[in-house]
Amino acid sequence: MIRCLYLEQNRSRYRVAKMAQRLRVSKSGYYAWRKRSKSLRCIENEALLQETIGIHEASRNTYGGRKITHEINRRSEKPVNHKRIERIMRENGIRSKSHKKYKAATNSGHNLPVAENILNRNFDADRPGQKIVSDITYIPTDEGWLYLEE
């Protein structure tokens, strides 16, 4: 079927006979596939696709396969597996937006003394060892943040 779909998509660009030969599909098999009516499964998938698009857009593109499946199963009497919905979404390029939670790495709202910026981004030095800088690595622990100065 995938080979026949490829033939169908490219038949305006290439000769059917050549593509069929390269893909090892008989021309008669391809033309029989074209005449064949859609299967019940294909018709159901198209209906599920339309329902999936509706739910996805109603959720402002935030729902993924599991939530869409839950909505479809809540609305209809025939249950659908989440893998089927996820496959339909993948085949049609439907993806949910994912938002990462913002988590501040530093706490600027403290009353501790802050060191003065003596270097002020002037990194040019006359001799080695004249200007030395360090870095702080933040390490999250169960008790809070640990600061490793290098």
DSSP at 4: H
- When the pLDDT of each residue in the chain is averaged and rounded to a whole number, the result is 89
For 93-103, write each residue's pLDDT tens digit.
999 988 777 77
Residue 30 reports pLDDT greater than 70: yes
**Average pLDDT rounded to a whole number, residues 48-74:** 96
CA angle 59, 61, 65 (to 5 degrees): 85
pLDDT value at 149 more than 80: no
pLDDT for res 103: 76
**pLDDT over threshold 70, residue 150:** no
Q: What is the pLDDT of residue 68?
A: 97
Euclidean distance between the first and final Cα of the chain, in Å? 61
- On whether the pTM is more than 0.75, the answer is no
In this structure, what is the dihedral angle of CA atoms 88, 91, 97, 98, given to the nearest 10 degrees? 90
Q: What is the pLDDT of residues 1-29, one digit of tens each?
A: 678 888 888 889 999 999 899 989 899 99
